[in-house]
Structure 1
Amino acid sequence: MDIRGPVDPETMQAAHEQVEREAEALRLVIVSDEDADGGHRQFVKDDPAPLPYVDLSTGPAPEAAARAWMEKDAEGPVDPQALCRAALLKIADDHFVLYRRVHHAVVDGYSLALVFNRTAAVYSALARQLPAEGGAFPAFAHLVETETAYRDSRSFPRDRAHWLDTLAGHPEPVGLSGRRGGLAIGRRRTVELTPDRVGHLERAAADLGVTWSDLAVSTIAAYVGKHTGADELLLGLPTGGRLSPQVRNVPGMTMNILPLRLTVDTGLPLGAFTRRVSRTIRNVLLHSRYPTAEISREVLGEGGGRLWGPMVNVMKFDYKLDFGGSAATMRTLSIPLTIDMTVYFFQTSADGTTDVILDAHPELFTARDTDAHLEGILGLLDAIGTARPETAVRELFPPPAPVAAD
């Protein structure tokens, strides 16, 4: 969390401790237990994680030093007894970073937005010497109870039947490189979309009868379909899994990555294309609580394999990031591994500013490939943003470069 403005370390420490006690998922630990299902169990420890205060403001390059400090910490080994860690870094009197390192086993991206929003609210209340009890998170037990109830409900077998039917005779996942690789940390490229640019795309989506998230996914589907020549795709689609209002504001790990099976016809008008993608996404979301691990076991069998190629993740949050008058922006230092190419549309602040992040598998894509794909995706996104609904999708791509004669 990049905070622009003064911060009182003692007040931040108090806010941190209160939020850590409220958000039980931040205090989850995993231990070995031979008697437990899977050989492990988790429990909530009593004490909150510490918040070290690191003053880097007196060095020659404090911003670079802060990034180096965070990268070193993020690359360190994971302690099952401390799956969530935090620190407050001072870059200048009016520039601080509230750093959090969390493990996806216990917390997802949506939960981090909840935690940062709550931390800002508690800090602001304490800074004004006001009580900060209102707005506390519901108990983590709600997540456990809701998941148990889901597995015992009629929805569980219905969702299973849906996924077995949806993936019957599924195509082999294709990627932009035409090759396969194992899990790897992606080669990252990032471009920021300004609030005006995002607002324009949101209005374009509304004119097409879809959401901004639908438009972003449609862009990636069209791009991958065009450049692979495939008329059917399997894309990875992370979903929140929070269909029940009882768990909407409970920090924890509910995110589920599911296969989005799409028929890609770039001859369709843009409006029809995006609405088809939107309907398919809605259908995925209706059945988004069924675990991907179960789908993989039943669809792919013991031999394993892949349920998708490229992945697209639209992360749009309701931010309220004000620390006693000091505005903040959320940034990502690292994101999970990629098996091909992953595109994130990551909202970083309340004004709608969004980072388009491309993580490309380093063994499948060169640095030049990665730059070219990000440029192509952004170009298509802008073309979609200005196109009429009746324009064929294939007409939104630039013509191929002329081949020089010998």
Structure 2
Amino acid sequence: MPIKPTCPQRRGNAGRRSAWPWLAAVATSGRTSHVDTTVSTQTRGRNRQVLPETTARSAHGAPFRTGRASYAQAHRFAMEDAQPDHPQRTLRTAYRIRGPLDPERLASAMSAVVARHDALRMSLHPSEEELRYRVHNRVEWPLIREKSVTVAAGAELAPELVRALDDELLDRFDRSVPPLASARLWELGSDDWLLSLKIDHMIADVLSVGVIGAELSRAYQGETLPIPGLSFADWIEQQDAYFRGEQARVDRAYWDATLAGRPNGWNTLLPDFDLSETAGNAPGAVSLALPTGLGASISAFRRSNRLTPHMVYLSALVLCLARRTGDPDVCVLSATANRSRDLAELVGWCAHGLAYRFLAGQAETPAELARLVRAGCMNVMTHQRYPLLRWRLDNDPGELGRRLRLPYVFLHPITEYFTAPAFAGLDTELVDGTGVEADPCLGFQVRHTTGDEVTLSLHHGGFGYTRAHAERLLADFADALRILTERPDSRLRDLEDWLGR
């Protein structure tokens, strides 16, 4: 199941540049303060769900914990403010649930999850000085019951449901009113339901979606959820302190040495990209199931060369891109969860991008290329805490508020981002194509199912990249996997299209 872009990349700035002067100072202080303010009753979105006032007081004597927003939150806000036509970035997934679902019980489970995670009780408030968050003591996360839509058992979703799911991606959250999340439930027939969850990326990353789904199932089954030892607001303070410390300077120096001298920065430009201003921006996604024999070869190659799954697929992608471009200098983006083990179950926007740069011409064989990739991955992991976005704006502050004007290639971590909740006594599955996460122009995802079955996916958006382009590139990726794992000791220079031959 591919993760598809909700909003296509566009080049240049639409509308005014951001007037917010405070982004550069986001990391200068990690202090928080507390104010005595209440949430006004407001309506949200086209569902006009009225939220109650929050009047509970915290241990600090105020209804909010407040502090300076994170660096990523501040940049995202500035980008959207500078370009009013820019859609909000959201995470959305939908589940088909079969069985005797109890909506009231599900609503209670949602309340338990909101009480556990401060990110789901967070609102954002700009001023002339800075962007600040507020964590509210109590927030209602309503389960919106939509009008029933009859769908035959085992049938695909009705067209009006698909349209409703697509339309909700364009609905904007009022970020001054928590929760920055929505939940909608349709009854499709006897013991047949559709649950859609949408979360503002300003308060959660993709891994958080899995945390929310898992905890909804636990709370639905009656389990009491403990309060996390560290909250998202705590994490924001820790990240600010890191930016002011010596380790951040060491990590930034690594990225300077790795990327600063590269002509295209972190971009690897494919020859079939259309970089003209008139290039189309229609998003899409393609998938390709690998033969079982190739899946077995990948597993054997990984074990014999002591590689992680991500290293194997990254090696193949580097091989693929070097053949496609004729350029040995390849850069691929990926992401880190940026969480310690005790933060694995935290909801929040902690993840950020990383860049992997390799000089493929240094390798004589596919196996040598894989070892080169492994060494590079170890270096990246040592310095992974420094965000790629922060490095970009450190070196070019003029990029503040701009959308990316060049496409890039992204390899998602080898994981199941969107895992269906396991409700007791119910059969739950992810609705194919509804797990949505915005942004990368060319995003590769690898999905392992049972045994050695592997499915490759590629989502694309913008820069004239069509479905036909994506299908050819995905086939080239599969071919690179075959060369890497079935001909590991062959000579790369014997490939007809190796480095411009």
> TM-score under structure 2 normalisation?
0.68
Aligned equivalents of 2:425 and 2:292: distance in 1?
A: 21
On the 8 A contact 2:443/2:459 being kept in 1, the answer is yes
Which residue of the partner structure matches residue 5 of structure 1? Answer: 98
Amino acid at match of 2:335: P
Q: Secondary structure at the match of 1:175?
A: coil
Amino acid at match of 2:490: T
On the 8 A contact 1:266/1:394 being kept in 2, the answer is no
Aligned equivalents of 1:371 and 1:321: distance in 2?
A: 31
Deviates more, 1:278-287 or 1:374-383: 374-383
Please, which of 69, 72, 84 is the counterpart of residue 167 of structure 2? 72
- Structure-to-structure mapping, 1:24-173, within 5 angstroms: 24-35=118-129, 37=130, 40-45=131-136, 46-54=138-146, 56-58=148-150, 63-64=157-158, 65-80=160-175, 81=177, 82-123=179-220, 125-126=221-222, 132-134=223-225, 136-138=227-229, 139-172=231-264, 173=267
Aligned equivalents of 2:413 and 2:452: distance in 1?
A: 13
On the 8 A contact 1:19/1:115 being kept in 2, the answer is yes
1:13-65: CA deviation from partner (whole Å, max 9, x where unpaired): 11111112212212322222223x2xx21212331321112354425777134
On the 8 A contact 2:116/2:225 being kept in 1, the answer is no
- Structure-to-structure mapping, 1:199-210, within 5 angstroms: 201-210=298-307
1:150-198: CA deviation from partner (whole Å, max 9, x where unpaired): 2243211111111112224213233222543689563322346699976
Which residue of the partner structure matches residue 231 of structure 1? Answer: 328
Q: Secondary structure at the match of 2:349?
A: coil
On the 8 A contact 2:143/2:184 being kept in 1, the answer is yes
On the 8 A contact 2:95/2:420 being kept in 1, the answer is no
Distance change (3 Å), C-alpha of 1:218 and 1:317: same
Which residue of the partner structure matches residue 411 of structure 2? Answer: 312
Which residue of the partner structure matches residue 474 of structure 2? Answer: 374
1:357-395: CA deviation from partner (whole Å, max 9, x where unpaired): 31223432233212222222234335544x143234577
Deviates more, 1:294-303 or 1:252-261: 294-303
Cα offset, 1:145, TM superposition? 3.5
Which residue of the partner structure matches residue 117 of structure 2? Answer: 23
Deviates more, 1:54-63 or 1:109-118: 54-63
Amino acid at match of 1:236: L
Cα offset, 1:307, TM superposition? 8.9
Q: Secondary structure at the match of 1:389?
A: coil
Aligned equivalents of 2:104 and 2:493: distance in 1?
A: 57
On the 8 A contact 2:274/2:463 being kept in 1, the answer is no
Aligned equivalents of 2:470 and 2:198: distance in 1?
A: 27
Cα offset, 1:292, TM superposition? 2.4
Which residue of the partner structure matches residue 356 of structure 1? Answer: 456
Please, which of 320, 323, 339 is the counterpart of residue 423 of structure 2? 323
Distance change (3 Å), C-alpha of 1:92 and 1:214: farther
Amino acid at match of 1:274: A
Aligned equivalents of 1:231 and 1:389: distance in 2?
A: 18
Aligned equivalents of 1:11 and 1:192: distance in 2?
A: 38
* Structure 2: gaps of 5 or more residues: 1-93
1:69-125: CA deviation from partner (whole Å, max 9, x where unpaired): 2111112234323532122233343443332112222110111111111111222x2
Distance change (3 Å), C-alpha of 1:363 and 1:169: closer
User: How many residues align structurally?
Assistant: 386
On the 8 A contact 2:183/2:197 being kept in 1, the answer is yes
Aligned equivalents of 2:200 and 2:317: distance in 1?
A: 27
On the 8 A contact 2:444/2:457 being kept in 1, the answer is yes
Aligned equivalents of 1:230 and 1:90: distance in 2?
A: 53
Please, which of 342, 348, 367 is the counterpart of residue 252 of structure 1? 348
Cα offset, 1:213, TM superposition? 1.2
Distance change (3 Å), C-alpha of 1:380 and 1:327: farther
Q: Secondary structure at the match of 1:302?
A: helix
Matched, 1:277 2:373: yes
On the 8 A contact 1:108/1:255 being kept in 2, the answer is yes
Which residue of the partner structure matches residue 129 of structure 1? Answer: none
Q: Secondary structure at the match of 1:233?
A: strand
On the 8 A contact 1:231/1:263 being kept in 2, the answer is yes
1 or 2 for the larger relative contact order (CA 8 Å, sep ≥6)?
Answer: 2
On the 8 A contact 1:268/1:393 being kept in 2, the answer is yes
Q: Secondary structure at the match of 2:398?
A: coil
Identity %: 19
* Structure 1: gaps of 5 or more residues: 127-131, 400-406
